[in-house]
Structure 1
Amino acid sequence: MKPKDTYAVVTGAGKGLGKSLSVELARRNKNLVLLAKEGEDLFGFGAFLTKKYGVKIHCVEVDFLQEESLATVADKLKNLNVNILVNNAGIGGSMFFDQTDIQRIDSILQVNIRMLVMLTRLLISKLKNQTSSYILNVASMASCCPIAYKSVYPASKAFVYSFSKSLAEELKCFGVHVCVLLPGPIKTNSEVSHRIEKQGWWVKAGLQTPTQLAQIGIDALFRHKSVVIPGLITKINWLLLKILPKSICIPMVSQAVKNEISAVDSAVPLKELKFT
């Protein structure tokens, strides 16, 4: 099978980190299946990648909150050879738990956990059929420490981390390499950056662009790294979270998030913050 006949599947490919990951893969001459919600100009983005990099693109507009989404993806991929899966789609944000809409909590669980697992299960036989294949799961530095005023999001990313490490051990004998990326705060847009900056100067210092993270993540994936902690500040934060007792880490990190909420009207739900 020729490399040009294989595809990389990227979820959440219409904006933010997912868009940058798609660009980085196309730049490396990888054909792509782009998955994203409607209204993100996915087909225009796909046409741009084809024109600039000469790669083959399939665009699938799908909402992972809809029951039929997995069946839709399965139908689109049934005749394609897949050797790379990038599970990037995710929902995050900062808010008091008792003020968070139940539907939003359910959405975080569905996208960050359920669909990531189910899509991986759907494609696992295709990945095992390749001589060498890759899975990149986007977790978060939030997976390293429980965080008040986020609650469900860090727990969901801790699941992604654990799932990735377990799957890596299970699949290594089949030539399927699994890598988990732990980004810190991301400059997805000016509004998100501004709100994250309210968490404090140290958090602001660790902000990275989607382009930076995509380059680091894809490079590490193809170098067979199992865990990627991008950037010096992020590495320092990871080390501190490992060394310091949770009785110190949890209040410290939670206070930073509370500062963000206090900087806006806490009575009004924040817009979705895309950390992945």
Structure 2
Amino acid sequence: MNSKLEYAVITGASQGLGRAFALSLAEKGQNLILISLPNQKLNQLAKQIEEDHYVKTVYFELDFCSDKDVIILTKYLNSNFNVNILINNAGTGGTKRINDASLTYLNTIIQVNIKATTVFTHQLLPNLKKQQKSYILNVSSIAAFSPVGYKTVYPASKAFIHSFSIGLSEELKSSNVSVSVINPGAMKTNPEITARIEKQGIIGRLTLLDPKRVADFSIKKMFQGTTFILINPISWFIASLLPNKIKVPMMTNIVKREA
């Protein structure tokens, strides 16, 4: 460990928003610890970032479905790196009828979205507190504000992340650790996802986001100490302010096309 170096830990860093977070921080000269599933070409991304931005970049491939592996990794990070930023971006979901979903499918959403985020935060918090100024950025979802049929467990898991983040921010407000949460909607992570979301109609097209813009904006607000970072006002209005009797059937009918 070089005591002069500080690192940002980013989970789910290989693609989409996680990759955008990594590039955005690298542009600011931030050293990185990238974590993602195996076989996601994470080594290539780490090498590219080091060559393009001259920052220290290390990576770890990990399946978040194992609490034991997450704890082993966080203990290793605490022993070998100074962590001043934690971005809990890793997440998973899907669209299925509840009676068609397997227990493995449901358990994976709960494990990755809820448990892994909680364990990473809990285990790395002592490290974050040792630095002069530190930041936690949790990635929730606009689905946190609206139950949705055919997704069911996913919005509930993201509601947990939102509540967890707001509560943790209040708990740590007098410390050196600032906590933020973002609740983005669908993003243009690849052509297949973009096309699928656009098939949802005008609402899907209006709320589709660019990962790089989301990452740059979120990191800017994170460094400013903003707790709840509002990404898309249109999505937030639909999901948060409309009454359930209107928004739940509306959102369910939209995602039903995927099922």
TM surpasses 0.5? yes
Q: How far apart, in 2, do the equivalents of 1:156 and 1:220 lie?
A: 24
TM-score using structure 2 length: 0.95
Amino acid in structure 2 at the alignment position of 1:49: I
Residue type matched to 1:198 in 2?
Answer: K
Task: Write the distance in 2 (CA, Å) between the matches of 1:208 and 1:241.
Answer: 16
Q: Secondary structure at the match of 1:114?
A: helix
Letter in 2 for 1:195: R
> Could you report, residue by residue, the CA deviation over 1:144-177 in whole angstroms, capped at 9, with x for unpaired residues?
1101010000000000000000000001111211
What is the aligned partner in structure 2 of residue 254 from structure 1?
A: 252
Paired residues of 1:131 and 1:175 also in contact (CA < 8 A): yes
Alpha-carbon distance between aligned partners in 1 of 2:71 and 2:182, rounded to the nearest angstrom: 27
Q: Percent identity?
A: 39
Q: 2:233 aligns with which of 227, 232, 235?
A: 235
Aligned residue type for 1:12: G
The residue number in structure 2 matching 1:191 is 192
CA deviation after TM superposition for structure 1 residue 116, in Å: 0.3
Asked whether the 8 Å contact 1:4–1:30 carries over to 2, the reply is no
Deviations 1:248-276 (A, max 9, x none): 11111111111232xxxxxxxxxxxxxxx
Amino acid at match of 1:94: T
Instruction: State how far apart, in whole Å, the 2-side matches of 1:104 and 1:255 are.
Output: 22
What residue is the counterpart of 1:48 in the other structure? 48
SS in 2 for 1:188: coil
- The alignment partner of 1:19 has SS state of helix
Gaps of 5+ in 2: none
Secondary structure of 1:10's match? Answer: strand
Cα deviation, 1:76-100, whole Å, max 9, x if unaligned, reads: 3022110100000000111111111
- Any idea what the Cα deviations from partners look like across 1:227-251, whole Å, max 9, x if unmatched? 1122xxx202312333321111111
Post-superposition offset of 1:74: 2.2
Map of 2:159 onto structure 1:
158
Give the equivalent residue in structure 2 for 1:37. Answer: 37
Q: Note closer, same or farther for the CA distance 1:166–1:59 as it changes in structure 2 (3 Å cut).
A: same
Distance 2:8 2:241 in 1: 37
- Partner of 1:26 in structure 2? 26
Q: What is the total number of aligned residue pairs between the two structures?
A: 257
Contact 1:10 1:22 in 2 (8 A): yes
1:91-144 CA-to-partner distances (Å, cap 9, x unmatched) read 011111111121011000000000100110000101111221100000000001
Structure 1 gaps of 5+ residues are 262-276
Amino acid at match of 2:54: G
Tell me, yes or no, if structure 1 residue 245 matches structure 2 residue 243: yes
